[in-house]
Amino acid sequence: MSNRALINAVFVNSARSATVLCGFVLAFLIGVIVWNGMNAMNIQFLLSASRNFGASGGILYQIIGSLLLVIMASILVLPVAVGTALFKSEYITSPTLFRISNTLIYSLNGIPSVTFGIFGLIFFVNILGTGISWFVGSIILAIMMLPTIVLTTYQSINSIPSAYREAAYALGLTKWQVIWRVLLPQGIHGAITGLLIALARAIGETAPIMFIATAFSGINLPGALNDPVVTLPTHILALAQQATNPDALQNAWGASLVLLTLVFIFSISAMFSRMHLKEISRR
């Protein structure tokens, strides 16, 4: 075998083994969570409240709390994100303003999640005096979700050929009618894709909410906007710190499997929604 062929063979095999290694590591991650999680899983676990610091009982209210946080965050973020995307695609004419808006959105995307928690702690909990509140947690998650949704919405609106807009204007439609009848139907789809991507990320976030929105125990459902909430990620955090207590560890895996399932539901829906989006823009 020539020298070149030898190098090539080494190269191909190392690429293959790197892939196998990566595949192995990633399969291990999923395997560990599913395997250990299934041991904790039963109807009782899903449908009862946690007791004894989470070492016994279930995670019903943690599941509800996590969903509550992200659903409220979605309600808060969606109108703002769609409006911002429309502003970006239909109203900004100056390139400088466009660049500034891009920079702002990208910076928001780059801020580490723990920083959002700290911002919430300073601005809402301390300066505005809201106390530890699930609603503040939703606001912070909404801010974190904003850039993703703005970008996908903007992309889908922007991918509408300008001929459509021109035709609509030629028919005598006002700008708002164009937005409402031509751009929004497509834009909403982009927004929902982005929302699902952002939800998959937001529901697993721990650092942004652990200072400002969550409690350890004593609360099932928040009664008022300024009550704290119990969530899956902070529950796993509390349990991970007692990793040698087998009961606590088992429940931590169970909670992880449930959280992961929720994340996967959101990200798989996002994938379908995105495929759907591509179909539409191809027509």
Partner 1 sequence: MRKYQRSRHAALFSLALIGTLLTMIAGCSRSESENVTVSGSSTVLPVISRAAEEYSQNNPGVRVIVNAGGSGVGITQLGEGQTDIGMISRDISASEQAKFPNAGFTTHVIGRDAVVPVVSSEIYDAGVSALTIDQIAAIYRGQITNWQEVGGPDAEILVIDKEASRGTRQVFMAVVLGDENAEAPGAKLVLGSNNEEQTALTQSNAAIGMLSQAWLNDDVKGLAIITADGSTIEPDLASIRAGEYPIARDLLLVSRSDLSEPSKAFIEFVLSAEGQQLVENAGYIKVTP
Partner 2 sequence: MNLPRLYIAGSAAFAAVMVILVFMVLMMSSWGAISSEGLALFTHKWHPAGGEFGVLPMIFGSAAVTIISLAIATPLGLLAAIFTSELLNPAWRAPVKSALEILAGIPSIIYGLIGVAFFSIWIGNLFDLQSGRTILTAGILLAVMILPTIITLCDDALHNVPQKYRESATGLGLYKYEVVRDVLLPIAKTDITGAILLALGRALGETMAVMLVIGSIDRVPDPFFNVLEAGQSITSKLGREIAESSFGSVHFSALIFMSLILVAITVSLTSFTQYYFRREKRLVE
Restricted to residues 32-91, the positions that interact with partner 1 (CB under 8 A) are 51, 53, 68, 71-72, 74-75, 78
Q: How far is CA 34 from CA 22, 31, 139, 259, in A?
A: 18, 5, 32, 11
Residues 153-212 that bind partner 1 (CB under 8 A): 185, 188-189, 192
Residues 168-187 that bind partner 2 (CB under 8 A): 176, 179-180
260 part of the interface to partner 1, by CB under 8 A: no
Tell the smallest beta-carbon distance from residue 54 to partner 1 (Å).
10
> Which helix (H) or strand (E) segment is 50 a member of?
strand 50-51
Interface segment toward partner 2; rule CB under 8 A; list 47-55, 112-120, 164-172, 217-225: 112-120
Interface segment toward partner 2; rule CB under 8 A; list 51-59, 161-169, 220-228, 240-248: 240-248
Tell the smallest beta-carbon distance from residue 56 to partner 2 (Å).
18
Tell the smallest beta-carbon distance from residue 129 to partner 1 (Å).
7
| Residues sharing a CB contact under 8 Å with residue 4, sequence separation 6 or more, in sequence order | none
* Cα 32 to Cα 42: distance, rounded to the nearest angstrom: 18
Counting Cα atoms < 13 Å in the Cβ hemisphere of 157 gives 29
Tell the smallest beta-carbon distance from residue 281 to partner 2 (Å).
14
User: Of residues 53, 201, 247, 269, which one binds partner 2 by CB under 8 A?
Assistant: 201
CB of 130 closer than 8 Å to CB of 124: yes
| 48 to 67: interface string for partner 2, x by CB under 8 A | --------------------
Interface segment toward partner 2; rule CB under 8 A; list 42-50, 57-65, 106-114, 220-228: 106-114
Residues 62-91 that bind partner 2 (CB under 8 A): 79-84, 86-88, 90-91
* Cα 238 to Cα 75: distance, rounded to the nearest angstrom: 29
122 part of the interface to partner 1, by CB under 8 A: no
In the chain, the amino acid numbered 90 is: E
Is residue 27 helix, strand or coil? helix
The terminus-to-terminus CA distance of the chain in angstroms comes to: 52
Judge residue 89's burial from the number of C-beta atoms within 10 Å of its C-beta, 0-12 exposed, 13-18 middle, 19 or more buried: buried
State how far Cα 55 lies from the chain centre.
28
Q: Which does 260 bind (CB under 5 to 8 A by kind): partner 2, partner 1, none?
A: partner 2
Output Rg (C-alpha) for the chain, integer angstroms: 23
The site for partner 2, by CB under 8 A, has a size of: 93
Q: Is the dihedral of CA 44, 34, 250, 49 positive or negative?
A: negative
Tell the smallest beta-carbon distance from residue 125 to partner 2 (Å).
8
Binding residues for partner 1, per CB under 8 A? Answer: 51, 53, 68, 71-72, 74-75, 78, 125-126, 129, 131-132, 185, 188-189, 192, 215-219, 222-225, 227-228, 238, 241-245, 248, 280
